Amino acid sequence: MGVTIKDIAKAAEVSYSTVSKALRDSPLVKEPTKQKIIKIAHQLGYQPNVAARSLVSKKSQTIGVVWPTIERVTHSALVTGLNKQLEELSYTTLISINEMEDAINTFNRYQVDAIVAFNEKNSREPAKSTVPIVTYGIAHEDSPFPTVDVNRKQAIQTAVDHLARTGHRSISYIGDMVQEDHLQEEKVEGFRQAIKDYDLELNSTSIIKVNDLASYDGYEAMKELLKKTDHPSAVISGSHDLSKGILRAIQEAGRSIPEDISIISYDNIPATEDLELPLSTVGVPLSTITEKLSEILIALINEETVEQSIYLKPELNITQSCKAWNGGETNE
Amino acid sequence: MGVTIKDIAKAAEVSYSTVSKALRDSPLVKEPTKQKIIKIAHQLGYQPNVAARSLVSKKSQTIGVVWPTIERVTHSALVTGLNKQLEELSYTTLISINEMEDAINTFNRYQVDAIVAFNEKNSREPAKSTVPIVTYGIAHEDSPFPTVDVNRKQAIQTAVDHLARTGHRSISYIGDMVQEDHLQEEKVEGFRQAIKDYDLELNSTSIIKVNDLASYDGYEAMKELLKKTDHPSAVISGSHDLSKGILRAIQEAGRSIPEDISIISYDNIPATEDLELPLSTVGVPLSTITEKLSEILIALINEETVEQSIYLKPELNITQSCKAWNGGETNE
DNA sequence: TTGAAAGCGGTACCAG
DNA sequence: CTGGTACCGCTTTCAA
C-alpha cells in the first residue's frame, strides 16, 4: 500500500491531523512546520487517497465524461479541450466509454461531482443519478438534463446569408449524410431553409450527399459537382475534413478559390493544419463550447440553477476563400 | 447524498452488517433475508459507494487506461475492445487522457487495481506508482514496465514472404510516413528486410511515402503507382484505411484484383465494413491483443510474475485479393 | 444466522 | 498553532 498521512506524521514527528492541515495548505499551521511536512510528503511520494478523502468531504474534484462513441472522432477534440479546461479549474476528468446508463452508474458509485454526457440518442428513461448531469449535442427536445449544444442550423443559415448578400445565387451544400445522422440533418435543414428565405434555386445539385464526413468524401463530391457546366459559385461544406477534400478537387480541376468558387466550411476546431489557403468557417469555437460546459458544470456542482437548454450561437469567420459574386465576369 | 446500507438496514429491519453481507451474496445470510434485502436495495436505487468500499477492501475493481492520444483513432477500437473484455471480468474501465505521469498519479489516488498505458514515447523516468502498470505499443527496448506489443515488423515480413513464395517479384509497400512515426517505421523496416532476404528488387517505387494513414493517402499513392508502366504485381498496405483508398484507385484505373495486382493489408481490426472484395490481411486480431492485455492485468493484480516483454505474433489471412503470379501471362 | 464493533485514510471540529 | 477525536460508508472479524 501507499504512503498515508500517518506515515508522514511519524516521519515529521507531528500528529496526523497537523499533516492533513499542512497538506491542505491550511493557515492554521506554522510555515516552517508546513514546509517540513510538505517536503517529507514529497520525499515519500505521497498521493492522497481519493477514496478516503471523498468519503468524508463528499467531493471528489472529479468530473465524469460519458463518451460511448469514441470511434467518432468528432468529439475527441472537444473532450481534449474540456479535459484541459477542467484541469485549470483543478478538476480531474475521467472518461467512461460504456453506455450512458452504465457509465452514469459507475460515476455515481465513484462519487464524481458532476457528469457530462456525449450521447447521440436521448436515453429513454432518465437514468437516476445523485450526481448532476449535463448533456452535449443531444436533441434539445425534451432531454431530462440541462443541455449544451451548437446551433448547427443557424450556422449554415449564417453561411448562406453571407454568400447570398455578397451576390451568390447558386450555392451548394456538401455534407448530407447517406446514413441517418441527426447532427448532419440539422445542418441540411438550415441550408434548405436559408435557401428558401433568400428565394434561391434548390435543384438536384444543391445538396450533395456523402457516405461519410472524411476527406475523400468531400473530394469525390466536389469532383462530381465540377463536372457540371453550371456548377455553383459557392460551396458550403459540412465538416473540416470534407473541406480538405473539396479543396483538393477544386485544385485538381484547375479552378481557383475564390475567383471561380467560394467556400465556407462548417467547423469548430481551430484551424490547426494550415491548408494552402485559410478557409472561411462558420461554427462555434471549441473553446466557447468547453467554457460553457465547464461553467454549467461548476454551477451544477454549486447547486445553482442553470438554463435547461443552451444553444450556442455560431460565429462566421470570412477569409480569402470567399469573394463577392458578380455573375462570373472579371471585375477589372 | 445517495442511499447507504444503513438506509437499507432500517427499511429491512436488520443490522447494516447483515445488509453488507447480503449484498455481497455471502452464504452467511439466510436466503429469504437476502432476497428481501436485495429487493429493497433495488427499490431504493442503491449504488455502493466505491470510496468506502475500496477504502477498506483495498480493491476498486477498476482498471485505469492512460490514453493521452485520443486524437489518434488507431487505438479507439482497441480501447473499446479492452473495455468490453474487462467488463466481462467484472472490472470497470476508466480512461484518462492526461499525460502519462499525471494520469498515473490520478489513478494511484483513485486506487485503481492496475493501469494500462498507451503511450507513444517511453517516459523518461518510470513514474512511481503503487499500482501495477502494463504498457502497450511502446518500444520494447527498456520500458520500466511489462509491455505488450504487436510484432509489426514480423507482420510485414510474413506478408512479403507469402507473396514471394507465390511468385511475386515486384512488391510495393504503401505506408511509410512522411512524419516520424515509430510504429510505421517498424513496418517499413520489416518490409525492407524481407525484400532483402528474398533478394527482390528495392527501387524508388518499392516504398511509397504517405502523409497520413487515411483513405485518401492510399488512393493518391496507388494512383501515382499505377501510372508507371512497370507497376508492381503486389502491394502491401500499412493500414486498413490506406487499403480502402488503394482499392478505389485500382478500380478507377480499370485494373482488377487479384488478376492484375494482389494486395495484402496490415490490419488488426476485424473486417467490419464489407468492402467489395474481402481483403487479405496480416496482423494480430484485436481480440488477441485485448485478451493478452487482460490476462497480464489480472496476473499483475494477483501479484504473479509476468513476462517483461510480450511480442504478439501476427496472423496472415489470405483471401481472393491475392493470387499467385506467373509473370503476367494469363493462365489458361 | 445475525449483530456489534473495529478500522480503512482522511477531514474538521474542539480543546488545549 | 497543535493534538485528539468523531465520523464518512463499508467490509470483516468476533460474539451472541
| Residue corresponding to grid cell 445539385 | A205
At A201-255, the pLDDT tens digits run 898 889 999 998 888 899 999 999 999 888 899 999 999 889 999 999 999 899 9
pTM for this entry: 0.86
Distance CA A250, CA B50 (A): 56
Q: Residue B331's pLDDT is what? A: 42
Q: Residue B186's pLDDT is what? A: 92
DSSP type of residue B122: P
Q: Residue A312's pLDDT is what? A: 94
Nearest C-alpha of chain B: how many angstroms from A10?
20
Nearest one of A174, A275, A167 to A222, comparing CA atoms: A174
At A297-308, the pLDDT tens digits run 999 998 899 998
Q: Residue B200's pLDDT is what? A: 93
Domain ranges of chain A: 5-48, 62-150+286-313, 152-284
| Residue corresponding to grid cell 486506487 | B111
Query: Residue A25, CB, less than 7 Å from strand D?
Result: no
Instruction: Give the lowest-confidence range in A175-189, A255-269, B66-80.
Output: B66-80
Burial class of residue B114 (count of CB atoms within 10 Å of its CB; 0-12, 13-18, 19+): buried
**Chain B interface includes A252 (CB < 8 A):** no
At B212-241, the pLDDT tens digits run 888 889 999 999 999 988 889 999 999 988
**Chain B interface includes A87 (CB < 8 A):** yes
Helix (H, G, I), strand (E, B) or coil at A250: helix
- Cell numbers at A3, concatenated: 504512503
Distance CA A187, CA B281 (A): 38
Among candidates B98, B111, B130 on the partner chain, residue whose Cβ is nearest the Cβ of A83? B98
Q: With an 8 Å Cβ cutoff, are A95 and B92 in contact?
A: no
B-interface mutation test, from A95, A96, A251, most B Cβ less than 10 A away: A95
The nucleotide closest to B28 (CA, C1' atoms): C1
Q: With an 8 Å Cβ cutoff, are B109 and A48 in contact?
A: yes
CB B19 within 8 A of CB B12: yes
Nearest 5°: phi and psi at B289? Answer: -65, -50
Instruction: Give the lowest-confidence range in A87-101, A135-149, B159-173, B175-189.
Output: A135-149
Strand C interface, protein residues by Cβ within 7 Å: A 1-6, 16-17, 20-21, 23-24, 46, 48-49, 51-53, 55-57; B 14-18, 21, 28-30, 33, 52, 55-56
Q: With an 8 Å Cβ cutoff, are B79 and A97 in contact?
A: yes
Q: Establish whether the linkage from the previous residue to A258 is cis, with ω within 30° of 0.
A: yes
Give, rounded to a whole angstrom, the gap between the first and last alpha carbons of chain B. Answer: 79
| CA triple B12-B13-B19, angle to 5 deg | 60
pLDDT confidence band for B332 (50 / 70 / 90): very low
In CATH, the architecture of B152-284 is 3-Layer(aba) Sandwich (3.40)
| Residue corresponding to grid cell 473530394 | A219
Beta-strand relationship, B280-283 and B315-317: antiparallel
User: Under CATH, domain B5-48 is a member of which superfamily?
Assistant: lambda repressor-like DNA-binding domains (1.10.260.40)
Helix (H, G, I), strand (E, B) or coil at A247: helix
Distance CA B140, CA B173 (A): 24
**Helices of type H across chain B:** 5-12, 16-23, 31-43, 50-57, 76-88, 100-109, 152-165, 182-197, 215-227, 240-252, 286-301
The nucleotide closest to A27 (CA, C1' atoms): D1
Residue A33: is its pLDDT beyond 90?
Answer: no
Helix (H) or strand (E) holding B242: helix B240-252
CB A117 within 8 A of CB A66: yes
B-interface mutation test, from A1, A73, A80, A109, most B Cβ less than 10 A away: A109
- Say whether B152-284 and B5-48 share the same fold: no
Q: Residue A51's pLDDT is what? A: 85
By C-alpha to C1' distance, D9 is nearest to: B52
Q: For A62-150+286-313, CATH number?
A: 3.40.50.2300
Please, how many CA atoms are within 13 Å of residue A224, restricted to the half-sphere of its CB? 15
